[in-house]
Amino acid sequence: MISELIINAFLVTVMLAIGIALLRTRTLIFTVVLTSAYSLVAALMFITLDAVDVAFTEASVGAGISTILFLAAMAYLPKEEEENINSQTLPALTCILLGGILIWCSYDLPEIGLLSSPVHQHIVPDYILGSRDDIGIPNIVTSVLASYRGYDTFGETIVVFTAGVAVLVLLKNNTQTSKQKNKNSKRKVS
């Protein structure tokens, strides 16, 4: 138990160090690389918290795909970067205030893994006990996502699909006004 605590504390410290390095960096590509490193450490954190499926998603989406998407977007930016002249006091204050409120709220959360917390009492026992008979697949997470909460997953898919279609429409309008060779290159990225 104490080793778990040490591992978690170490990972949080590493994430904090990467976060501070992210704040201090002024190069765009280094920001992207650091974000990828942050996602990798966060995924390791999820594994120590026993959320293996979340860790899988974090590793493939957070560290893999989003890094490459950022880089693909960066290929369209000019090489020289301008100095940021906006004031950073108000955003920093907002972030610190929001973080403080969240930490304050976290004291009211039930203990991690506590069986009597509402999350584990409401409908989860039905899912765990009935998953094999109702759905017939051994993985409970999959049966909740795809069957018990199938409509929720369907809604999420529709949201993501709508966002993708919207981006495609925006890119298409943009290319109609520009030249033909621009059109071809943007199609490939999208």
Partner 1 sequence: MFLAALIACAFSGILILIRIILGQTTFDRVLAVNSLGTIIVIGIALHGFYTNRPEFLDIAIVYALINFIGTVAVLKLFSTGSLGEQKK
Q: Which residues bind partner 1 (CB under 8 A)?
A: 3, 7, 10, 14, 17-18, 21, 27, 29-30, 32-34, 36-37, 40-41, 43-44, 47-48, 52, 55-56, 59-60, 63-64, 67-68, 71-72, 74-75, 181, 184-185, 188-189
Nearer CB in complex with partner 1: 75/85: 75
Nearer CB in complex with partner 1: 68/159: 68
Give least dist CB 134 to partner 1, A: 25
Q: How far from the centroid of its chain's Cα atoms is residue 48's Cα? A: 17
Task: Kindly tell me the burial class for residue 3, based on how many C-beta atoms sit within 10 Å of its own C-beta (0-12, 13-18, 19 or more).
Answer: exposed
Give least dist CB 31 to partner 1, A: 11
> What is d(CA 12, CA 73) in angstroms, rounded to the nearest whole number?
30
Q: Which residue has the tokens 């203990």?
A: 111
Nearer CB in complex with partner 1: 151/181: 181
Nearer CB in complex with partner 1: 8/162: 8
Q: How many CB atoms lie within 10 A of CB 101?
A: 10
Give least dist CB 80 to partner 1, A: 14
Task: Kindly tell me the burial class for residue 45, based on how many C-beta atoms sit within 10 Å of its own C-beta (0-12, 13-18, 19 or more).
Answer: buried
5: tokens are 């605590």
Give least dist CB 36 to partner 1, A: 5
Nearer CB in complex with partner 1: 157/184: 184
Quote the Cα angle for 36-89-39, to 5°.
10
